[in-house]
């Protein structure tokens, strides 16, 4: 996964790169490193652990240079050591490379280069790139051309930042991993995503597959983009990003997680403000389709499941949810006339992008619900609706989930020709979330979470429209508190899960004013009779609830507000257990490898 940043300009590049890496830590935080060209020398710094508390001025005051690359790592090839952390270097230490992706043929390339005398110091796949460029430079003196020739030999995926000791040049390239170019006045910045440099510029160029960029004072306009395969120059398409730079800052909050949860009412407000035209276009695609699937991973899959219940109940349309990681078992059955709705916050999840390929090769269409503008998913889909979460930095997805659910509500409204009703119910959800996020309510959840933090297991139950929330609640809790948590459909309780219920185990019940209220309350009674501590989320209290968390009456739209309670629980449990909620162990926000 990993995150990369590169700076070319007139500032101290290392400061910009360290700042950018801190924003990219959601992509990996095993170790990090920098390389800069300062006064004609290539200097480096590598460190195991998170970059979070690092302060360049304090910890490395002499480190600097106007050209700098940096990397925050999520290890795939080679253990978490200083040596394996990026940047990696050529034998003569004059070429430095940072890389996100996997070089699949690195063993073959490495043994070939070793035969030619190259000495490797790490166990990574990345190091091979630095040596390959060094080797190619023996034949081709032009550095950009040597990089291009080297890239043609790589199999697998890459987003790269490359700098040289003996030339004021920075090269970036992408294939299968995201890379964005920020173009500002007197500075050009490379980043794995936009928030990495949004503070410095909102003018960006999203590099396409097999594109590379050479950044140099010698090039008119400061940079030139080429196609790796053909070597032909590509005209850059500059996009202005509408996100506000402060949205990607903590803004005085201790963690991105709480900040992003608190932003959920605004996310709904922005969704309500969407244009009818784009919603109608998406609705038409659904109406026209012979069969409709929703494909996504993790939290986005849960939002897709919510969408499938909603479209079934309100619009009488059958939408089959499939986990993107499992899709290849079903993809051969896609046909022309099918529609695949891909839901993704990042728009870079490898399995989701694979789903797009499968759909297209079968002649099916793809509708994307995606948060990141210019992402690979957005570019590959036939049509995209941009969800309104704004930059989501915390590894745990909270506001993106709510934005995706809200988007399905708007789509459902467009399908039934009642967008005004969709806006109305979203308005109720927004007010409800505001109440859940009030000071008094936060205190209540915090207090509850103290005892939840002692639990060994936590379960959640929901039926119908509330079932995806049972899954999502437990995903949040396990991701950040490391407590075993599992969500079940109420109807499945007697088919196994009830055996797990014992005295004192917390069970969260998602109920609402829909047809399954009575049934889920019966489930609550069944688990209570076996000793469970029932935490009930509903529009009305019930004697079966040990603890009651209120929501408004909002029918099939209640889950949009009710998920906020377990999101908050997950956060406060993590704090109680002294875990960093923004950086849960082993996880990365964007899974760009399979
Ligand atoms: C990872 C993240 C989840 C996220 C999922 C899908 O598993 O940890 O938070 O929901 O990927 O990511 P996407 O960017 O496609 O929504």
pLDDT digits (tens, 9 = 90+) for 26-38: 777 889 999 999 7
- CATH superfamily name and code, 245-437: Glucose-6-phosphate isomerase like protein; domain 1 (3.40.50.10490)
Please state whether beta strands 339-344 and 319-323 pair in parallel, antiparallel, or not at all (unpaired).
Answer: unpaired
Half-sphere exposure at residue 261, Cβ-oriented, CA atoms within 13 angstroms: 27
Which mutation among 177, 307, 589, 592 tests ligand 1's pocket best, with the greatest number of atoms within 8 A of CB? Answer: 589
Tell the residue nearest (CA) to atom 5 of ligand 1: 298
Question: Ligand 1 mean position to 298 CA, how many Å?
Answer: 5
Is the distance from the beta carbon of residue 371 to the nearest atom of ligand 1 less than 6 Å?
no
Axis-axis angle for helices 564-576, 439-452 (nearest 10): 60
Residue 312 Cβ < 6 Å to ligand 1: no
CA nearest 46: which of 25, 23, 71, 12?
71
Whether ligand 1 lies within 6 angstroms of the CB of 356 is answered as no
Q: Is the pLDDT of residue 594 over 80?
A: no
Per-residue pLDDT of 328-385, as tens digits, reads 899 899 999 999 999 999 998 989 999 999 999 999 999 999 998 888 899 899 999 9
How many Å lie between the centroid of ligand 1 and the Cα of residue 554?
Answer: 27
Q: Is 589 in the pocket of ligand 1 (CB under 6 A)?
A: yes
Backbone angles phi, psi at 32, to 5 degrees: -150, 170
Q: Does the Cβ of 458 fall within 6 Å of ligand 1?
A: no
Please tell me the distance from the alpha carbon of residue 196 to that of residue 202, in angstroms, as a whole number.
11
Among 143, 192, 202, CA closest to 167: 143
Q: Which two tokens stand for residue 236?
A: 């850059």
Q: What is the pLDDT of residue 192?
A: 93
- Counting from 1 in the atom list of ligand 1, the atom nearest the Cα of 400 is 16
Pocket flag, ligand 1, residue 323 (CB < 6 Å) = no
Per-residue pLDDT of 137-159, as tens digits, reads: 999 999 999 999 999 999 999 99
- Nearest ligand 1 atom to alpha carbon 397: 9
Cα–Cα distance, 212 to 228 (Å, whole number):
6
- Indicate whether residue 308 lines ligand 1 (CB < 6 A): no
Ligand 1 centre to CA of 278 (Å) is 25
Determine which residue's CA is closest to atom 8 belonging to ligand 1. Answer: 589
How many Å lie between the centroid of ligand 1 and the Cα of residue 193?
A: 15
Which is catalytic among the residues 226, 365, 399, 589?
589
Query: Is the minimum distance from the CB of 194 to ligand 1 under 6 angstroms?
Result: no
Nearest-CA residue for atom 15 of ligand 1: 344
Q: What is the pLDDT of residues 451-467, one digit of tens each?
A: 999 999 999 999 999 99
Lowest-confidence region among 124-128, 169-173, 241-245, 345-349: 241-245
Residue 395: the pLDDT is 86
pLDDT in tens, 157-194: 999 999 999 999 999 999 988 899 999 988 999 999 88
State the Cα–Cα distance between residues 262 and 253, nearest whole angstrom.
Answer: 10
- What pLDDT, in 10s, does the model give residues 465-501? 999 999 999 999 999 999 999 999 999 988 988 888 8
Q: Is the CB of 300 under 6 A from ligand 1?
A: yes
Q: 3-class SS at 521?
A: helix
Q: Where are the alpha helices (DSSP H) in 86-159?
A: 106-115, 127-136, 143-151
Is any ligand 1 atom within 6 A of the Cβ of residue 27? no
Distance CA 555, CA 512 (A): 6
Instruction: Note the pLDDT tens digit of each residue in 404-441.
Output: 999 999 999 999 999 999 999 999 999 999 999 999 99
Contact 399 CB / ligand 1 (< 6 Å): no
What's the confidence (pLDDT) of residue 65?
A: 87
Nearest atom (ligand 1) to Cα of 396: 9
Residue 573 Cα to ligand 1 midpoint, Å, equals: 21
Query: What are the structure tokens assigned to 234, written together?
Result: 């590509």
| Paired strand residues for 203 | 240
Return the sign of the alpha-carbon dihedral for residues 114, 118, 123, 129: negative
Q: Using 50, 70 and 90 to split pLDDT, how confident is the model at 593?
A: low
Contact by Cβ (8 Å): 461, 491: no
Q: What's the pTM?
A: 0.82
Is the Cβ–Cβ distance between 4 and 100 less than 8 Å?
yes
Cα of 292 vs centre of ligand 1, distance in Å, is 22
The answer to whether the CB of 297 is under 6 A from ligand 1 is yes
- In the chain, pLDDT over 90 holds for what percent of residues? 82
User: Which residue of 297, 381, 401 sits with most ligand 1 atoms within 8 Å of its CB, as the best mutation to test the pocket?
Assistant: 297
For the chain, first and last CA: distance in Å? 10
Ligand 1 midpoint to CA 344 (Å): 7
Task: Tell how far the Cα of 591 is from the centroid of ligand 1, in angstroms.
Answer: 7
Q: What are 300's two structure tokens?
A: 């986005």
The 8-class DSSP code of residue 402 comes to: H
Ligand 1 within 6 A of CB of 257: no
Q: Which of 2, 68, 342, 394 is catalytic?
A: 2
Task: Cite the DSSP H helix spans in 318-418.
Answer: 350-361, 376-380, 399-415
Same-fold call for 3-241 versus 245-437: no
Which of ligand 1's atoms lies nearest the C-alpha of 352? 15
Residue 591 near ligand 1, beta carbon < 6 Å: yes
Distance between Cα 168 and ligand 1 center (Å): 37
Q: Cβ contacts of residue 31 below 8 Å, gap of 6+?
A: 46, 47, 48, 49, 72, 73, 75, 80, 81, 82, 84, 85
CATH topology for 3-241 is: 3.60.20
Locate the domains of the chain by residue range: 3-241, 245-437, 439-583
Among 374, 347, 367, 450, CA closest to 415: 367
The answer to whether 589 is a known catalytic residue is yes
User: CATH number for the 439-583 domain, one of 3.40.50.720, 3.40.50.1100, 3.20.20.140, 3.40.50.10490?
Assistant: 3.40.50.10490
Question: CA-to-CA distance for 546 and 528, rounded, in angstroms?
Answer: 9
Average per-residue pLDDT for the chain: 94
Which pLDDT score is estimated for 588? 72
**Is 342 a catalytic site residue?**
no
């Amino acid at each position: 996964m990993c995150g990369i940043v590169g700076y070319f300009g007139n500032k101290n590049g290392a400061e910009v790169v360290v700042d950018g890496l801190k924003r990219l830590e959601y992509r990996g935080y095993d170790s990090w490193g920098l390389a800069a060209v300062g006064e004609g020398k290539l200097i480096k710094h590598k460190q195991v652990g998170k970059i979070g508390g690092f302060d360049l001025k304090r910890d490395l005051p002499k480190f600097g240079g106007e050209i700098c690359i940096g990397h925050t790592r999520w290890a795939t090839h080679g253990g978490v050591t200083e040596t394996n952390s990026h940047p990696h270097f050529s034998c003569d230490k004059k070429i430095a490379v940072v890389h996100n992706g996997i070089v699949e043929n690195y063993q073959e390339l490495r043994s070939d280069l070793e035969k030619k005398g190259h000495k490797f110091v790490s166990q990574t796949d990345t190091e091979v790139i630095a040596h390959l460029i060094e080797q190619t430079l023996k034949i081709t003196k032009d550095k950009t051309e040597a990089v291009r020739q080297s890239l043609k030999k790589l199999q697998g995926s890459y987003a790269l930042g490359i700098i040289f000791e003996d030339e004021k040049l920075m090269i970036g390239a992408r294939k299968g991993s995201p890379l964005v170019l920020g173009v500002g006045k007197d500075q050009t910045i490379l980043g794995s995503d936009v928030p990495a440099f949004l503070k410095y510029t909102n003018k960006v160029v999203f590099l396409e597959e097999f594109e590379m960029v050479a950044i140099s004072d010698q090039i008119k306009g400061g940079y030139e983009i080429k196609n790796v395969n053909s070597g032909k120059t590509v005209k850059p398409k500059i996009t202005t990003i509408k996100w506000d730079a402060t949205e990607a800052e903590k803004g005085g909050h201790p963690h991105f997680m709480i900040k992003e949860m608190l932003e959920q009412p605004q996310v709904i407000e922005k969704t309500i403000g969407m244009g009818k035209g784009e919603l109608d276009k998406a609705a038409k695609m659904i109406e026209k389709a012979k069969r409709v699937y929703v494909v996504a991973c993790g939290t986005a899959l849960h939002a897709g499941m919510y969408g499938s219940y909603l479209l079934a109940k309100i619009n009488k349309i059958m939408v089959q949810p499939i986990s993107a990681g499992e899709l290849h078992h079903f993809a051969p059955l896609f046909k022309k006339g099918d529609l695949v709705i891909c839901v993704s916050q990042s728009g870079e999840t490898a399995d989701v992008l694979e789903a797009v390929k499968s759909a297209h090769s079968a002649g099916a269409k793809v509708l994307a619900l995606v948060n990141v503008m210019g992402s690979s998913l957005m570019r590959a889909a036939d049509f995209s609706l941009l969800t309104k979460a704004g930059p989501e930095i915390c590894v745990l997805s909270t506001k993106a989930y709510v934005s995706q659910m809200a988007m399905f509500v708007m789509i459902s409204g467009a399908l039934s020709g009642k967008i005004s009703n969709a806006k109305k119910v979203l308005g109720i959800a927004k007010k409800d979330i505001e109440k859940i996020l009030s000071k008094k309510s936060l205190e209540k959840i915090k207090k509850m979470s103290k005892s939840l933090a002692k639990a060994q297991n936590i379960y959640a139950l929901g039926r119908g429209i509330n079932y995806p929330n049972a899954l999502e609640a437990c995903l949040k809790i396990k991701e950040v508190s490391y407590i075993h948590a599992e969500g079940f459909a109420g109807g499945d309780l007697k088919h196994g899960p009830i055996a797990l219920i014992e005295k004192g185990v917390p069970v969260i019940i998602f109920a609402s004013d829909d047809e399954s209220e009575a049934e889920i309350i019966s489930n609550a009674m069944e688990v209570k009779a076996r000793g469970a501590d029932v935490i009930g989320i509903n529009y009305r209290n019930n004697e079966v609830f040990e603890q009651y968390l209120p929501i408004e009456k909002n029918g099939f739209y209640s889950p949009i507000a009710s998920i906020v309670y377990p999101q908050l629980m997950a956060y406060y449990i993590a704090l109680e257990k002294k875990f960093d909620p923004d950086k849960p162990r082993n996880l990365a926000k964007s899974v760009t490898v399979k």
